[in-house]
Structure 1
Amino acid sequence: MNMSMPVDRRTLIGGAAAFALAPTGLLAAPRRRPRLGIQLYTLMQLLDRDLEGTIAQVAAMGYREVETLGSFGGDPVRLREIFDRHGLVSPSQHIMPPGLYEVFDAGVAKRIDMATFEREFIAAFSFDRVEGLIEACAQQAKALGQTYIVWQISWPSQLETRAKIDALVKALNRAADTAHREGFTLAYHNHSQEFTKVGTDVPYDLILKGTNPDRLKFEMDLAWATAAKVDPVGYFRRYPGRFRMVHMKDVGADGNVRDPGTGIVPFKRIIPAAEKAGVEHFYVEYDVPKDPMATAKRAYGYLSPLL
């Protein structure tokens, strides 16, 4: 998602991977190749009009994994049934309580101003109530068969001092502990503001270093990292095992989101490093595209051969 910047895997590869003889003399199983997925937020305006029809088109393109915004304000059981009918699995969701989804929808449609949008989001993610937030989210995730629950945004106002960053880190650790108790793994999704220095500190680095590496993983949004002049490959190399998901989003030199392959994100260089670092899920995402279905189709055509 984009809250701070201007808005504007081939399917499983056939053939055998290289086998290695295990000490027992048995052949080791080939490593599963990731499959290209999509964050359904990319198609949000279509989902609101025709939920199942839109999901059916996504599946027909070749996508097999989808990431959700909660259950898009609806019944997670029904949403899971739709995924099942169309051969889709959903490994993860961005935290989105039903009441907040209405605010989010209004914000995307510009029916409310950004100040109201931010205020409602911060209230919903209140650090004093993170346990309850994650417990409620876990019920949606159980119905959807998901593994990861993603904390999708920290606003610039929450990152402007070291004390505020420390408070965020403490809240994330509590949220991660709650997710673990519920049988899930919490992940953290970045925008560009996490890379703006506070004194000599980079907030993103403080979050990585201050959180429990066994319980909090990360979803790297490639576009916002690139827009902040940060090299995602460097993070993958320094923190192997921390990153489990990637948003395959592209961005132009002007800071606006672009279709994958038409901007400045070096996907061909990033993907091997991400896989080596332990990334499991690669999701296309585009913030409010003009033609969501065309963007999803072009993204699949460009990115799936790279995985």
Structure 2
Amino acid sequence: MPVLGLQLMMLRDQINEKGMYEVLRQVRDLDIDAVEVSQVEMTDELIDDLVRGKADFGVETAAMSASIEPGGNGFALSTEFDRAVEACTKTGSRYLRIGMMPFSAMTTKEACEAWAASVEPYAAHLAEQGVTLCYHNHHVDLIQFDGERIFDIVRRVAPSLLFEVDLHWVQRGGMAPLDMLEAYTGACKLIHVKDFRIAPFPQDVLDRQAEMDRSEFMAAFTNLTQFAEVGQGNMNWPALLPAAEKAGAEYFLIEQDDTYGRDPIDCIRESREYLTSIGY
């Protein structure tokens, strides 16, 4: 069974306030076994805290974030390749992940191919060092150019780059997550476990309907999608998680991009309790 972890972007404020080590203590108290590090500065101190957290609490580092050029999220592979490999060795992480391709790569097939081609040498070189580079999708990765999805282009041009599949974003992109997992079996190593909820229609928008033009009103109607705690949306987790495991997943990572004012710890706990209830 894949290891259950947490995407730490949910606790980045806490990391910045009290350090990674104390956050890992909280993660252990939530009965979560691994973390993925994102949206925090990868200082030597933070990396050392990941090592201490594994030794003291048994919380492993599932993955850390990377980009190709400086200015992205995590290690910049063009300038920090050796440091990224060293951090993986120290923490025991076997995965680095790219959170998103540049917006410019989403505009045409040629732009997407060029970006994927620029990533492939880094992914292949990391693989030689025992580290797998994965690409995290959003809904835009279901864009089609000449009938070929961005997912397909990335696999064709950068075969050494595997996937971190965010099932919520696959759903939002209009592809059935079960179909995606089947189509890319073998490439799906990390899975973001995040639910998809449709929020109630806002009463204040209804109250203002007479004052709004139709396009503004319809925008409110079509923009009811939310990120949700696992088990609090419409995703079929009892079917999805076994399918993800069959597709090659090694980590299931709880994530919720927005908690809509709720304490993220409460949201994580709720997701964890639901996953326990279905056997994870």
Deviation, 1:259, is 1.2
> Counterpart in 1 of 2:55?
84
Q: TM-score, normalised by structure 1?
A: 0.74
User: Which of 127, 135, 143 lines up with 1:188 in the alignment?
Assistant: 135
Q: Which has the higher strand share?
A: 2
For the residues of structure 2 that align with 1:96 and 1:40, how far apart are their CA atoms? 17
| Percent identity of equivalent pairs | 22
> Counterpart in 2 of 1:219?
164
Deviation, 1:280, is 1.0
The answer to whether the 8 A contact 1:37-1:66 is kept is yes
> Counterpart in 2 of 1:154?
101
Deviation, 1:34, is 2.2
Q: TM-score, normalised by structure 2?
A: 0.80
Q: Give the paired residue count.
A: 248
Q: Unaligned 5+ residue runs, structure 1?
A: 1-32, 101-119
State the secondary structure of the residue aligned to 1:44: helix
For the residues of structure 1 that align with 2:147 and 2:197, how far apart are their CA atoms? 28
Return the structure number with greater relative CO, CA threshold 8 A, min gap 6. 1
State the secondary structure of the residue aligned to 1:37: strand
Deviation, 1:79, is 2.6
1:1-307 paired onto structure 2 within 5 Å: 33-51=1-19, 52-69=21-38, 72-74=41-43, 75=45, 76-95=47-66, 120-121=71-72, 130-212=77-159, 215-253=160-198, 254-289=224-259, 290=261, 291-306=263-278, 307=280
State the secondary structure of the residue aligned to 1:229: coil
1:296–1:258 CA distance, 2 compared to 1 (3 A): same
Q: Unaligned 5+ residue runs, structure 2?
A: 199-223
1:70–1:43 CA distance, 2 compared to 1 (3 A): closer
Deviation, 1:264, is 2.3
> Counterpart in 1 of 2:205?
none
Question: Any idea what the Cα deviations from partners look like across 1:260-305, whole Å, max 9, x if unmatched?
Answer: 1112222122111111111111000112433111111111101234
